[in-house]
Amino acid sequence: MTLRINPSILASDFANLEAELGRIANADMAHVDVMDNHFVPNLTLGLPIVARLQEVSPIPLDVHLMIDDPDRWAPSYAETGAASVTFHAEAAADPRALARALRDRGARAGMAIKPGTAAEPFYELLPELDMLLVMTVEPGFGGQSFIESTMPKLRALRDEVGRRDLDIWLQVDGGINDDTIGIAAEAGADVFVAGSSVFGAEVAAEQVERLRTLAGE
Ligand code: DX5
Ligand code: ZN
């Protein structure tokens, strides 16, 4: 299984985003957290900034939409050329149609679930998705502690994906660091988002490689 490390630029210097992307050019994708102050109690950045990041980023963008009404807004993020666009299951009115709209626009279709959201009701949707994001913190802020009680859900998803022989990435996001990445890898994650662990390191690119090793690659 190919493992991917996607640093979250939420923990980077927002006054120097192009340079910050340059610090993680050895990573697989740059994770961009879009928050609308409605779905989550925090506000970050939106479509015009994502469109510019897409133009200057040395690596593909992995856009994580923590917003209400993704049915309306998510397709525009796919149109920026972002490689992956993830909406929240809790916010989408019609996740199946939305996933198709993202794929139609050339993006990988991702769907996220919060720590308290069960995965089973969405198993039937898995063939429509390219990635399922199991949040390992409550969405909204970087620097929180990994919620280990989400691991059985991740493991069950890995089993289900295997049973159905699906080609779908399982992403974890929140509290991923030297101590927790192995736990998530062992439970079946193959895409690891890390914000403070990577951008808090003196040499971010070295921390990306350290996480890769700790994940088992
Ligand atoms: C939280 C965001 C995460 C965040 C992770 O709502 O979705 O992507 O940046 O930050 P760390 O790795 O610091 O927990
Ligand atoms: Zn995120």
SS3 (DSSP) at 129: coil
The structure tokens listed for 47 are 């479509």
Total domains present in the chain: 1
CA 141 / ligand 2 centre spacing (Å): 9
* Active-site choice (28, 33, 62, 130): 33
Q: List the domain range (segments joined by +) for residue 57.
A: 4-215
Nearest CA to ligand 1 atom 10: 142
ipTM: 0.99
Does residue 31 contact residue 6 with C-beta atoms inside 8 Å? yes
Query: According to the model, what pLDDT value does residue 53 have?
Result: 98
- Our answer to whether residue 62 is catalytic in this structure is no
CA 174 / ligand 1 centre spacing (Å): 5
Domain CATH for 28: 3.20.20.70
Helices and strands of the chain, counted as H and E runs? 8, 8
Q: What is the pLDDT of residues 179-210, one digit of tens each?
A: 999 999 999 999 999 999 999 999 999 999 99
Task: For the full predicted model, state whether its pTM sits above 0.90.
Answer: yes
* Active-site choice (28, 62, 130, 173): 173
Query: According to the model, what pLDDT value does residue 217 have?
Result: 76
| Residues paired with 85 in a beta bridge | 63, 109
The structure tokens listed for 57 are 């980023």
Edge to edge, what strands does the sheet with 191-194 contain? 4-7, 191-194, 169-173, 131-135, 108-113, 84-88, 61-66, 30-35
CA–CA distance, 137 with 203 (Å, rounded to integer): 25
| Residues paired with 109 in a beta bridge | 85
Q: Which stretches in the chain have pLDDT values below 70?
A: none
Residue 148's nearest CA partner among 120, 105, 109, 177 is 177
